[in-house]
């Protein structure tokens, strides 16, 4: 959204936010919604879980496991491995 406004129109806080988002983005914004939907469908995740996973794009099973600890949800290792393969396939280069 900030990119659409144009950097010359942004205040200092908005420019910092845009810079942060560009540096730490792990997936293209256009693809994020699709990834959330696919995670929900293919791996039976709750929307909140899928959104957080796409936001962070974890790179290991241990990192993925963290998203299920709060709800005390136990997930099979094979399912976690599938999520990791899915994320790796869709991770933004760079």
**pLDDT tens digits for 2-33?**
777 877 888 888 888 877 766 666 677 778 88
Whether residue 15 is contained in a domain is answered as no
Whether residue 36 is contained in a domain is answered as yes
Given a cut of 80, is residue 70 above it in pLDDT? no
Q: Read off the pLDDT band of 93 (50, 70, 90).
A: low
Rounded to an integer, what distance in angstroms lies between the CA atom of residue 81 and that of residue 76? 9
Whether residue 14 is contained in a domain is answered as no
Rounded to an integer, what distance in angstroms lies between the CA atom of residue 57 and that of residue 39? 12
Q: Read off the pLDDT band of 78 (50, 70, 90).
A: very high
The residue-averaged pLDDT of 64-81 equals 86
Which is higher by pLDDT, 93 or 19? 19
Whether residue 3 is contained in a domain is answered as no
Secondary structure of residue 87 in the 3-state scheme: helix
Whether residue 18 is contained in a domain is answered as no
The pLDDT of residue 94: 44
Rounded to an integer, what distance in angstroms lies between the CA atom of residue 44 and that of residue 74? 13
Q: Read off the pLDDT band of 71 (50, 70, 90).
A: low
Whether residue 6 is contained in a domain is answered as no
Domain count, the chain: 1
10, 2 Cβ separation under 8 angstroms: yes
pTM higher than 0.75 for the full model?
no
Domain with 84, as residue range(s), is: 28-90
Locus of tokens 């794009």? 57
Whether residue 33 is contained in a domain is answered as yes
Whether residue 53 is contained in a domain is answered as yes
């Amino acid at each position: 959204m900030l990119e659409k406004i144009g950097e010359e129109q942004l205040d200092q806080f908005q420019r910092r936010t845009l810079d942060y988002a560009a540096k730490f983005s792990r997936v293209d914004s256009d693809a994020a919604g699709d990834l959330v939907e696919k995670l929900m469908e293919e791996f039976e995740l709750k929307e909140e879980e899928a959104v957080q996973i796409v936001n962070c794009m974890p790179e290991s099973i241990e990192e993925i496991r963290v998203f299920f600890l709060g709800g005390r949800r136990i997930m099979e290792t094979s399912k976690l491995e599938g999520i990791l393969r899915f994320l790796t396939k869709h991770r933004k280069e760079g």
